[in-house]
């Protein structure tokens, strides 16, 4: 199987690539789509620049589209918002241009998104059929998803993966928290009652591969003249938790106290509009994955934190 991954060097893409090499039971040839084809990469990974994608004759069975600047990495100025949008839309458009040009279509496009699509909806349970509340996070995700869905115009099925907070000791959000927590300065945000919808990185990887297998199997079973469709998956644990519970779990894992509190007004002053990611909760559930028979390996936050 030939797989093209945009954002392959990132927190999810690199771990997914490593996992594919040893856990699929089949030969998997991985190419990272990147702005800089000379960047460091594992020996088993081939590199392709966006310029090369415009002319390559290589065929890919699956494209996994994960490129995009981190939404929580910086305060949302107008310039930052534009960067967040461009860093998602430009790679996606390059992939669509490739799909439109090649004679043999990929069998599947897996395109990234986030649970931000639903907007801040507090403790209301949300699944793939739920509606949304309009805010910047929703608009960003919705614009990205709508562009990716255009692959169906060329007969390529699309799987949209709306990812929650990804937990793993090696990086992501948790890496940013380790220093203050180790110093005993960890604590809840606001009142701590906001819901955090999360997933372990291991289960994200397993879910992504599960979706690829499921979608390719469905495509093989479908009639050739059947139009391509889009399927949405929430990549979140079936056990969302409050910020207070998460804080206590991290403190217990590190054997450190978590008595500090960061009041909501202070967070709003520090982060502006982006503070919604910290103080407004979302209870997003993985209905599509569970219905399809996916079994979580690390369904609790304790299991995710203690992964070696």
Phi, psi of 25 (to 5 degrees): 75, 15
pLDDT on residue 222? 58
Domain extents in the chain: 2-166+199-236+283-296
CA pair distance 78, 91, nearest whole angstrom: 21
CA pair distance 161, 204, nearest whole angstrom: 10
CA pair distance 28, 55, nearest whole angstrom: 23
Residues 6+ apart with CB under 8 A from 153: none
pLDDT on residue 173? 86
User: What mean pLDDT do residues 182-200 have?
Assistant: 93
| Burial track 106-143 (b if 16+ CB lie within 10 A, e otherwise) | bbbbbbbbbbbbbbbbeeeebbbeeebeeebbbbbbbe
3-state secondary structure 204-235: HHHHHHHHHHHHHHHHHHCCCCCCCCEEEEEE
β strands within 142-254, DSSP E: 158-163, 165-168, 171, 187-189, 195-196, 198-200, 230-235, 241-242
Is 307 a residue whose pLDDT tops 90? Answer: no
Q: How confident is the model at residue 10 (pLDDT cuts 50, 70, 90)?
A: very high
User: What mean pLDDT do residues 195-217 have?
Assistant: 96
**Structural element, H or E, at residue 302:** helix 301-305
Q: Whole-angstrom distance between the N-terminal and C-terminal Cα of the chain?
A: 29
Domain topology for 2-166+199-236+283-296: Rossmann fold (3.40.50)
**Structural element, H or E, at residue 126:** strand 125-126
- The pTM (predicted TM-score) of the whole model is 0.94
CA pair distance 115, 232, nearest whole angstrom: 11
């Amino acid at each position: 199987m030939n797989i093209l991954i945009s954002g392959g060097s990132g927190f999810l893409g690199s771990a997914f690539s490593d996992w594919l090499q040893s856990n699929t039971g089949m030969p998997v040839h991985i190419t990272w789509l990147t702005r800089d084809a000379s960047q460091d990469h594992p020996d088993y990974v081939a590199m392709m620049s966006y310029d090369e994608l415009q002319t390559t004759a290589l065929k890919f069975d699956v494209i996994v589209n994960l490129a995009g600047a981190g939404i929580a990495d910086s305060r949302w100025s107008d310039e930052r918002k534009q960067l967040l949008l461009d860093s998602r839309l430009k790679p996606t458009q390059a992939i669509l241009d490739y799909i439109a040009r090649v004679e043999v279509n990929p069998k599947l496009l897996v395109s990234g998104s986030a649970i931000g699509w639903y907007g801040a909806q507090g403790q209301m349970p949300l699944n793939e059929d739920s509606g949304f509340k309009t805010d910047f996070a929703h608009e960003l995700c919705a614009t990205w998803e709508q562009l990716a869905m255009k692959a169906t115009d060329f007969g390529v099925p699309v799987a949209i993966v709306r990812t929650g907070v990804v937990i793993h000791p090696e990086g992501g959000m948790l890496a940013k928290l380790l220093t203050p927590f180790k110093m005993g300065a960890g604590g809840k945000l606001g009142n701590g009652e906001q819901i955090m919808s999360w997933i372990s990185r291991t289960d994200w990887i397993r879910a992504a591969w599960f979706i690829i297998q499921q979608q390719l199997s469905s495509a093989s079973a479908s009639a050739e003249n059947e139009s391509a469709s889009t399927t949405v998956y929430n990549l979140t644990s079936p056990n969302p938790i409050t910020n207070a519970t998460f804080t206590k779990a991290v403190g217990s894992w590190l054997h450190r106290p978590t008595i500090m509190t960061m009041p909501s007004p202070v967070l709003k002053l520090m982060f502006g509009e982006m503070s919604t990611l910290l103080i407004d909760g979302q209870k997003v559930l993985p209905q599509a994955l569970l219905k399809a028979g996916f079994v979580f390996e690390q369904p609790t936050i304790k299991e995710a934190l203690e992964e070696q």
